[in-house]
Structure 1
Amino acid sequence: MRMTVKDVMTGQVASVRGDTPFKDIAETLISGGISAVPVVDAGNRVIGMVSEADLLRKEEFREQFYREGYQPPLRARLRHPKGRQKAAGDTAAELMSSPAITISPEASAVSAARLMDSRDVKRLAVVEPGGKLVGIVSRRDLVKLFLRGDEEIATEVRDEILDRALWVDTSSVTVEVHQGVVTLGGSMDRRSETGIAVRMTQRVNGVVDVIDKLAWKQDDSKWEGR
């Protein structure tokens, strides 16, 4: 089964408006036990994201350091090129990162993970067409996919892949799962069919790895490309 962002996201999401004061943002983060919060407009459309890191820049670039001749450490300036500007911010609109990185609730969980990795973020605002906020998906939400039980994974491999997705005889194929690692054993008619079975199993949510112990009766790899 293809797991989507909607399946793993947090739907009850705290948010702030652009004019929300600094201290109210901090209170929202602390009371909610979260590290970032979406910033929305009057129509609940996402316009940015403000995080703990954005708030902490007030400390890192606090005004008392900017006495005559002082410069923040090079490391800080490179990491946050707009740090001094954000440190002066008093509202969400002045502190937030914008535009927010968003994703559709219908997108696959895998695509969410790839987007987080490519953009080097820990969370994504989940929005409907038009930008309306419907949830938040975090790295922690995606990690939960790997907490699926072994028997649940084995059942999906047998029912969804071997019995339904593959239009070939899989009656001799065995499935064993331990700690998310799937071992496919037994035999199939063609070598190409075993490769398809392994690749499809690798895409099952919660699968950590696939050990291929499948045998085949006919090596049809020499026909590939003809």
Structure 2
Amino acid sequence: MIGTPSVVGDVMTRTVVALQRGAAFKDIVKAMRGRGVGALPVLDDDRHVMGVVSEADLLRKEELRDGASGEYTRELRSGDLTRAAAATAGELMNTPAVTVRADATLPQAARTMAQHGVKRLPVVDAQGELVGIVSRSDLLKVFLRDDEQIAEEIRRDVLPHLFAAEAEPVRVRVRDGVVTLTGRVTDTALVPVAVGWVRGVEGVVDVDCALAGPSRRPDLDPDFPDTEGSPSPPTAQAGTGP
């Protein structure tokens, strides 16, 4: 779909500051402050991502700088204690690195971030080489999509596959990303399917579904005679008899 950010490569930041294994502690701090980021990827000589150094990794040194109590240090993992004594990116980095492919969908990237508790991910191509960085704020760009673009996509790519044969078209209205569907449809079993498909359209915040089944003609009261077009009952004639 033209103009629709559908994969990580559409929203990622392509200009990336990366570290070599031998990057010094102070140079890492300067790079983070200079770029305003909280984590940097560490690359090997072929631009493959080996690991990631975060602000939390750097702060281990500050936590123990004044001599922490034995009880405090016992609560730390051995890896944290090692990072507190580290002086280079190779010693500080978390490995293996959690990365995402440039052709991954935005929901896939969001799930990866949630599962690993990270705010940004190095983006790699099919060969595993670094091509960008994607952050939480990048993934949220999809919700800046124009309401009319969302409505047009639903009318073009969703409704014709479900309700093409309806006598009246299903009406779509989008306001602040919230989609409202109204109208009558022949097969109400397709309504939950339609809601699911609409939720999958990028930029949709919520769906307010007011689709109803076909209108029914009211049943006539069986005790009310239908006189129109029916034969008149026979009438007795005066003065006749056997």
TM-score range, shorter chain: 0.7 to 0.9
Contact 2:48 2:130 (8 Å CA) reproduced: yes
Aligned to 2:63: 60
Q: Which runs of 5+ in 1 are unaligned?
A: 219-226
**Using the alignment, how far apart are the partners of 2:208 and 2:195 within structure 1?**
8
In structure 1, give the amino acid aligned to 2:18: S
* Preserved contact between residue 7 and residue 106 of structure 2 (Cα < 8 Å): yes
Cα distance, 1:168 vs structure 2: 2.7
CA distance in 2, matches of 1:98, 1:31: 24
Query: Alpha carbons of 1:85 and 1:72: their partners in 2 closer, same or farther (altered >3 Å)?
Result: farther
Give the C-alpha shift of residue 33 in structure 1: 1.2
Is there any run of 5+ residues in structure 2 with no aligned partner, and where?
216-242
Match of 2:127 in 1: 130
1:16 is matched with: 19
- Tell me what 1:176 maps to: 173
Q: Deviation digits for residues 147-190 of structure 1, max 9, x if unmatched? A: 22222211221122224x44733652111111111111112221
Instruction: Specify the SS of the correspondent of 1:217.
Output: coil
* Higher CA-based Rg: 2
Residue correspondences, number: 211
Once residues 7 and 166 of structure 1 are traced to their aligned partners in structure 2, the CA distance between those partners, rounded to angstroms, is 29
Amino acid at match of 2:33: I
Kindly, what percent of the aligned residue pairs are identical?
A: 44
Does structure 2 retain, via aligned residues, the 8 Å contact 1:169–1:188?
Answer: no
Counterpart Cα distance in 2 of 1:132 and 1:140: 23
Matched residue of 1:94: which SS? helix
**In structure 2, C-alpha distance between the alignment counterparts of 1:156 and 1:81, rounded to whole Å:** 52
SS in 1 for 2:185: strand
Q: Which residue is 1:222 aligned to?
A: none
What is the distance in 2 between the residues matched to 1:157 and 1:7?
21
**Could you say what the CA RMSD is over the residues aligned between the two structures, in angstroms?**
2.0
State the shift of 1:205 in Å.
Answer: 1.1
Q: Which residue of 1 aligns with 2:114?
A: 117
Match of 2:31 among 28, 33, 36: 28
Work out which structure has the larger RCO, using CA pairs closer than 8 Å and 6 or more positions apart in sequence: 1
**Superposed counterparts of 1:65-76, under 5 Å:** 65=67, 70-71=69-70, 73=72
Task: Name the residue aligned to 2:226.
Answer: none
